[in-house]
């Protein structure tokens, strides 16, 4: 009986390369300025998988736990725990940005205002309040002001939270990829100092109690379908620039 021989030697390897290339496509989006998956499941650094190298330093020992996907970080507010990412020029997100993350809050918050993800010394922030709403505040012209407040409560279940902010359009808050608040024409944010903070506000105050996973930061207001893609875990497998088609064309050219 004749043995089966591949019609195109090396084709399988090239197809595997195409798959790997596809998986990096989302990470190659220039507008993705930080992506902390929290999948290290150990150590004192949360690696940034974007092209910019905005690694986060774990402060005061947040715990590695099972997350919404892989591992995540649990923050004990009584221990003043947070993750800190030093500000760079790339992280000056003042006119348009998106922050998206999974969160499972605790019932045991220390204060009325509990900072989940924010930038600088009260420059912009996503905040869980004791009234169970999520707020977005930002500073413009030196004035710290509320830009969003959800009527829908943030429960203790895993929830995907996303905020898009564009001074030429709107500020929108999404829970599980559904819009729960929108307001037009938010103000430009003042220049950001200090750091991006996860689990507290800079320089280390008003600590959040709960678990956070899969933090994305973009320098644009991404589209609703992109938020859905991130929530469903498909964003990193989506190629926005035709790389898969290019790779497959290269495979066919070698036949």
pTM of the model: 0.84
CA neighbor of 213 nearest in space, from 225, 198, 227: 198
Q: In CATH, what number is assigned to the domain containing residue 203?
A: 2.60.120.200
Selection from 111, 53, 116, 115 nearest residue 86 by Cα:
53
**Burial group, residue 110, by CB count within 10 angstroms (0-12, 13-18, 19+):** middle
Q: Is residue 157 part of a domain?
A: yes
Task: Answer whether residue 63 is part of any domain.
Answer: yes
Domain containing residue 108: 34-235
Residue 42 lies in a domain: yes
Whether 41 is covered by a domain: the verdict is yes
Within the chain, strands assigned E span: 32-36, 45-46, 56-59, 63-66, 71-75, 82-86, 96-105, 113-119, 124-129, 134-140, 143-149, 159-166, 170-175, 178-184, 195-198, 210-218
Q: Does residue 167 contact residue 188 with C-beta atoms inside 8 Å?
A: yes
The pLDDT tens digits along the chain (255 residues) read 444 344 444 544 443 434 333 344 467 799 999 999 999 999 999 999 999 999 999 999 999 999 999 999 999 999 999 999 999 999 999 999 999 999 999 999 999 999 999 999 999 999 999 999 999 999 999 999 999 999 999 999 999 999 999 999 999 999 999 999 999 999 999 999 999 999 999 999 999 999 999 999 999 999 999 999 999 999 886 444 443 332 223 322 333
Residue 99 lies in a domain: yes
**Both structure tokens of 47:** 């690696």
Number of domains the chain contains? 1
């Amino acid at each position: 009986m004749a043995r089966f021989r591949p019609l195109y030697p090396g084709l399988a390897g090239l197809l595997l390369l195409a798959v790997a290339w596809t998986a990096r496509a989302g990470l190659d989006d220039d507008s993705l300025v930080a992506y902390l998956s929290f999948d290290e499941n150990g150590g004192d650094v949360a690696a940034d998988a974007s092209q910019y190298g905005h690694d986060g330093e774990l402060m005061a020992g947040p715990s590695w736990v099972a997350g919404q996907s892989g591992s995540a970080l649990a923050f004990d507010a009584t221990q003043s725990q947070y993750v800190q990412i030093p500000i760079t020029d790339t992280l000056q997100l003042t006119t348009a940005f998106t922050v998206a993350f999974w969160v499972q809050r605790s019932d045991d918050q220390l204060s009325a205002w509990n900072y989940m993800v924010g930038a600088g010394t009260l420059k912009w922030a996503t905040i869980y309040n004791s009234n169970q709403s999520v707020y977005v505040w930002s500073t413009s012209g030196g004035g710290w002001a509320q830009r969003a407040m959800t009527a829908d409560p943030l429960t203790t279940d895993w929830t995907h939270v996303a905020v898009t902010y564009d001074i030429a359009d709107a500020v929108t808050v999404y829970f599980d990829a559904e819009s729960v608040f929108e307001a037009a024409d938010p103000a430009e944010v003042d220049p950001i100092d200090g750091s991006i903070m996860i689990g507290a506000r800079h320089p280390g105050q008003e600590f959040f109690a709960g678990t956070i996973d899969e933090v994305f930061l973009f320098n644009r207001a991404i589209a609703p379908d992109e938020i859905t893609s991130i929530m469903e875990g498909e964003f990193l497998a989506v190629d926005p620039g035709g790389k898969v088609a290019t790779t497959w064309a290269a495979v066919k050219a070698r036949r």
